[in-house]
Amino acid sequence: MIIIKKPKELQDFLESNRNEGKRIGFAPTMGALHAGHLSLVNENKKQNDVVVCSIFVNPTQFNDPEDFRKYPVTIEKDILLLEDAGCDVLFLPSVQDIYPSGTNDLNHYELGFLETVLEGKFRPGHFQGVCQIMHRLLEIVLPDNLYLGQKDYQQCMVIKRLIKLIGLDDKVKVTVCPTLREKDGLAMSSRNARLLPAERIKATTLFASLRYIKENLNPGTTKKIKDAGKQMLLQNGFRTDYIEIADANTLQLVENWNGKQKIVVLAAAFINNVRLIDNLQVNT
C-alpha cells in the first residue's frame, strides 16, 4: 500500500491508472478503523483494480467541538489494518490540503428536506460539512465506485444527492454496504471506543430497541411502539435525540403505517456524552 498526502500527487497517480483502463474504487473514512470500515475495503477490492481509502477527520462536519476533539485517532493501527485488507492507496491529507482557503467560506449545498429531519435536525450544519468534504474528495479521487455504510443511512442519501448536485451521477456508482455489528448487536463505530465498560454493556440496548420495533410493529399508528422503544433506551441510561420510523426512500416520518410502505427505524442517543446512531430496515 502506498500512502499519499498531497491531493495533486493522488490525482496524478490515479490519472495514469485511469489511462491504463483501471477501475478505481474509493472508501472514505475518518479513521479509528474497525471491521465495518474493512468490509467497505473488501467490497471495494472485489470490484476494482485500484482500491483507494482515505482517512481524514473532517472538522467542518462536527457541530460539537468536544466530539471533534475527542474523536479517536489510531493512525498506525489503521495503516496496518488497511494493508492487511489489501488497500492499494491510503490518502492521508492535512486540513490545509483539503481546505487551502480555510473553512470559513465553503460551498453551501441545497439538501432540502433531508437536512431538516433526524440527523439534519439534531446536528445543524453536519450534512453541509459532509458535502464539503465529499465534494472535495470526489473531485480529487474521481472514483468509478464509491463505498458507503448503511450504518449512516441518512448520510448515504445526502451523498447520493450531492453526487447529483455536482453532476457526477453518470460517473460515480454508489454501493451501500450492510452495517457490521458486534456479537451482541451493537453497530460497530469508532465512537464505541469512547464507551466505558459499563456503558458498553448498556449500549447494546440501542440495537435491541430498533429490533423490538421492527419485530412488533403492526400496520396503524406508530406512536405507541416508538414510545416503547424510547422507554427501553431511557431505562438503560440513554438520552435520546430521536427514535423514529421513516420512509426508506425519502425519510419522511411515518405516523401511520399501511403495512406495505418500505420503512426504516432510526435512532440517535447518548450514553453520557457519547452519541451513537443506528438503523434497521423493516421490510426491504
Catalytic residue numbers? 37
Long-range CB pairs of 34-38, under 8 A, 24+ apart, other chains included: 34/180, 34/188, 34/189, 34/190, 34/192, 35/180, 35/188, 36/149, 36/151, 36/179, 36/180, 36/187, 36/188, 36/189, 37/149, 38/81, 38/82, 38/85
Q: Name which position in 54, 179, 236, 279 contacts ligand AMP (CB under 6 A).
A: 179
Toward ligand AMP, which CB reaches closer, 180 or 217? 180
Site for ligand AMP in 27-56 (CB under 6 A): 29-30, 36-37, 39-40
Q: Name which position in 188, 225, 246, 267 contacts ligand AMP (CB under 6 A).
A: 188
Which position has the grid cell 464505541? Answer: 192
The interface region with ligand AMP, picked from 63-71, 181-189, 214-222, 259-267 by CB under 6 A, is 181-189
For position 85 contacting ligand AMP by CB under 6 A, the verdict is no
The interface region with ligand AMP, picked from 161-169, 187-195, 231-239, 242-250 by CB under 6 A, is 187-195
Tell me if 194 sits within 8 A of 226, measured CB to CB: no
For position 132 contacting ligand AMP by CB under 6 A, the verdict is no
Give helix then strand counts, H and E, for the chain: 11, 11
DSSP-derived letter for residue 274 is E
Give the three-class secondary structure for 282.
coil
CB of 148 to ligand AMP, least distance (A): 4
For position 149 contacting ligand AMP by CB under 6 A, the verdict is yes
The interface region with ligand AMP, picked from 7-15, 75-83, 111-119, 176-184 by CB under 6 A, is 176-184
For position 148 contacting ligand AMP by CB under 6 A, the verdict is yes
How far, in Å, CA of 233 to CA of 207, rounded?
10
Written as one letter, the residue type at 48 is N
**Three cell numbers at 215?**
419485530
Toward ligand AMP, which CB reaches closer, 195 or 254? 195
Toward ligand AMP, which CB reaches closer, 180 or 282? 180
Toward ligand AMP, which CB reaches closer, 7 or 36? 36
CB of 239 to ligand AMP, least distance (A): 21
**H or E segment and range at residue 42:** helix 35-47
Q: Residue 257 to residues 211, 217, 233, 247, 249: CA-CA distances in angstroms?
A: 17, 9, 23, 10, 14
Toward ligand AMP, which CB reaches closer, 228 or 270? 270
For position 177 contacting ligand AMP by CB under 6 A, the verdict is yes
Toward ligand AMP, which CB reaches closer, 213 or 277? 277
Q: Name which position in 44, 48, 132, 190 contacts ligand AMP (CB under 6 A).
A: 190
In sequence order, which residues have a C-beta less than 8 Å from that of residue 230 and are 6 or more positions away? Answer: 209, 240, 243
CB of 13 to ligand AMP, least distance (A): 22
**H or E segment and range at residue 53:** strand 50-55
Which residues make up the interface to ligand AMP (CB under 6 A)? 29-30, 36-37, 39-40, 148-149, 151-152, 177, 179-180, 187-190
